[in-house]
Chains A and B, each alone.
Chain A
Amino acid sequence: MTDTPTKVIVDCSTGESTIVPLTAEELAQRETDRLAYEAQEATRLAAEEAKETAKASANAKLKALGLTDSEIAAITS
């Protein structure tokens, strides 16, 4: 049996803290949040990978034109 995740509630009017299990609604939202984050991260990482791939391709084409690494760095950074 898996323990239900708990949240900490801090009452600013009293300073008291309580620990309570998440409700069914909060557990469902937690799963929604997890899936949304995973999708966002997948999109971000795919964009970064595509950018790196394009960069490598561009560098290869510049080298094929006869540019040295230092010359490529001079015009791309």
Chain B
Amino acid sequence: MTMTLIQTKTLASQAASIEFTSIPQDGTDLLVLTALRNSTPSTGWADALVRPNGATTNLTSIALYGTGSTAGSLPNSTDIYHQAVNGGSTSNTFSNSTIYITNYTASNAKSITVDTVTEQNTTLALAAITRGLWNNTAAITSLTIVPTANNFEGGSTISLYKITKGTDGIVVVS
């Protein structure tokens, strides 16, 4: 099994979305690591949507989350999302997330899992796990990350990896 960096992008300035196109089709799974900050001037966070092939339909997810003061769940969303810390939070902090997409070239529905933590030096922070499905048989050739409010701040970084299955049981990071 090998894990190969496809592309990484750090924003030089604000952007309304980030889209990876022409994703190679010779991998098994996709792994996306994000470090995001939203331009919304308040504290807290805003969602960031995960859209395979730019899709806005046939997406479902459930989520569990905990904040500095409470825990809860968000059932039956029609999007797959994670969170980006807002611009009014502690300076130079970003959310950290992993997005894992299995069998991204297969002709069946795609399972997508997301783990997120926002970062700032107060109790108002969030940890969340989201489990989603894109019910579409098309191979994933592009992936878009979209904020639900305003823009992603400069300095936000997204890295896209492909995981390729093998028989030796060893993961090689290249």
The interface of chain A, by Cβ under 8 A from chain B, is: 5-15, 17, 19, 22, 26, 29-30, 33-34, 36-37, 40, 44, 47-48, 51-52
In-complex Cβ contact of A15 among B7, B46, B78 (8 A):
B7
List of B residues within 8 angstroms of A5 by Cβ:
15-16, 151
Is B16 within 8 A of A7, CB to CB? yes
B146 at interface, CB cutoff 8 A: yes
Is B18 within 8 A of A7, CB to CB? yes
The interface of chain B, by Cβ under 8 A from chain A, is: 6-7, 9, 11, 15-24, 46-47, 49, 56, 70, 72, 74, 77-79, 146, 148-149, 151, 160
Is A33 within 8 A of B49, CB to CB? yes
List of A residues within 8 angstroms of B46 by Cβ:
37
Interchain CA distance A11-B49 in the complex, whole Å: 20
Is B21 within 8 A of A12, CB to CB? yes
In-complex Cβ contact of A10 among B21, B24, B78, B146 (8 A):
B21
List of B residues within 8 angstroms of A48 by Cβ:
70, 72
Is A12 within 8 A of B6, CB to CB? yes
**Central interface residue in A7, A13, A48, by most chain B CB within 10 Å:** A7
Q: A15 to chain B: closest CB distance in Å?
A: 6
Interchain CA distance A42-B9 in the complex, whole Å: 33
Is A8 within 8 A of B70, CB to CB? no
30 residue pairs A–B, Cβ–Cβ below 8 Å: A7-B15, A7-B19, A8-B11, A8-B15, A9-B19, A10-B7, A10-B9, A11-B21, A11-B22, A12-B7, A12-B21, A12-B160, A13-B24, A14-B22, A15-B7, A19-B15, A22-B17, A30-B16, A30-B146, A33-B49, A33-B79, A37-B46, A37-B47, A37-B149, A40-B47, A44-B72, A44-B74, A48-B70, A48-B72, A51-B72
**Central interface residue in A9, A13, A14, A22, by most chain B CB within 10 Å:** A9
